[in-house]
Amino acid sequence: MTPNAPHIVVIGGGYAGVLAANHLQQAAHAKITLVNPRPEFVERIRLHQLAVGNHSATTGYDTVLGDRVRLLVDSVERIDAPIRQVQLASGDVVDYDYLLYAVGSTGGVPTSVPGAAEFAYPLSELEQAQRLCERLQDIPMSAPVVVVGGGLTGIEAAGEFAEAGRPVTLITDVVGASLGDQARRSVVKALRKLGVTIVSGPDILVASVGATDVTLADGTRLPSAVTVWTTGFGVPGLAAASGLTTDELGRLITDETLTSVDDDRIVAAGDCASPSGIPLRMSCQAAGPMGIQAANTVLARLAGTEPAVLNQAFTGQCVSVGRTYGTVQIAHSDDTPRRLYFGGRTGAAIKEQVCKATITFMAKEGRKPGSYFWFKGRNRARQLAEAAKDTVGAARR
């Protein structure tokens, strides 16, 4: 290691953090440290599989991290930006020259719904999925399971449980609201083939959760030995607790180069970043390219050049419905759905290949920094222009 080599600390070892750390190896003389609370990489897109026991949803960091990335298993409790230092849960402190903030997102259950915090099982983190898996092993296969939320996570959870032979009820306003009409019908068809009962509609709301049932706003009571809660979004509070500027949910506010508006030595990527206050959709499809682009911002600053602005396009969404069925929604670059989709067994095969490729691409970036590619487009400029127009219109009103 070259004396006085710059030290780059990456907080968070998810999709964005791993790709960023690997990409940073292009800074030949830099020291790179990845801080993560778990010793294994979590395949978050497989947590529904972990819950039923057909996948571990983890892989060793030695398979996805480059040789020059040092893994430090610890949690960051505070970022002290003025002195460029992070304080760890272990009591240690780590100095940095540049900090890449990639702590991801989390999910939970709302305190506003009586009984939800006590009886419902969220499914957005490794420990939550493990707890759910243990609970499912404690009840008979005939015991009813209720999944609250019809987004992609809820669909995948319901499909996985039903294919395993459990009676499942899915409660939601709309199944697959982010999908196009044709793809949505494909998902509903697959869920029903697996025996999932769907309770949906614009007025469907959960009023309370009990140990043995779920009560809807209209008074309907549904039996439930296990209630799985898949709605809601949150981010760790580290940035806000450290005095950095965040949005209302706690995402770090950055400019379009993913640089913190408070400190040009801090950049962010993934679900925890809010560039220009207009975040990208929560997904590993967004997180990975953002990790690379955040790393490029750091590399540009090390080289004394101007960093590029955020530029990435979406290509679609894919959702599994058990191991047998799936739906792949093809999208415009701005993430709006096209009419084209792939369903059934073809959709399932594509989704599985996407999951495998995600690990493959991270590992390849570790071996060959700079090899990762992503789709680019002009949709971000349009999104910013529309947001500015909406702001002006609101001010005039």
H-helix segments, 24-57: 47-52
**What is the DSSP secondary-structure string of 116-183?**
HHHHEEE-SSHHHHHHHHHHHHHS-TTS-EEEE--SHHHHHHHHHHHHTT--EEEEESSTTTTS-HHH
Instruction: Please list the rounded mean pLDDT of every run of 10 residues in the chain (397 residues).
Output: 84 98 97 98 97 97 98 98 98 98 92 95 96 98 98 97 98 97 97 98 96 97 98 94 97 98 98 96 94 98 97 95 97 94 97 97 98 88 75 54
pLDDT recorded at residue 395: 52
Q: Which two tokens stand for residue 114?
A: 């009586």
Give the architecture-level CATH label for domain 7-105+235-393: 3-Layer(bba) Sandwich (3.50)
Q: Which residues have C-beta within 8 Å of that of residue 327, sequence separation ≥ 6?
A: 176, 179, 183, 186, 187, 190, 318, 319, 321, 341, 342, 343, 347
User: Do the two domains 7-105+235-393 and 108-229 of this chain adopt the same fold?
Assistant: yes
User: What is the Cα–Cα distance from 107 to 117, expressed in whole angstroms?
Assistant: 12
Amino acid in position 374 = W
- Sorted by where each begins, the domain ranges of the chain are 7-105+235-393, 108-229
For the chain, the first-to-last Cα distance in angstroms comes to 59
Q: Does the pTM exceed 0.85?
A: yes
Q: Which two tokens stand for residue 372?
A: 């990762």
Strand partners, 135: none
Fold of 108-229: FAD/NAD(P)-binding domain (3.50.50)
Provide the CA 68 distance to its chain's centre, in angstroms: 26
pLDDT recorded at residue 379: 78
pLDDT recorded at residue 157: 98
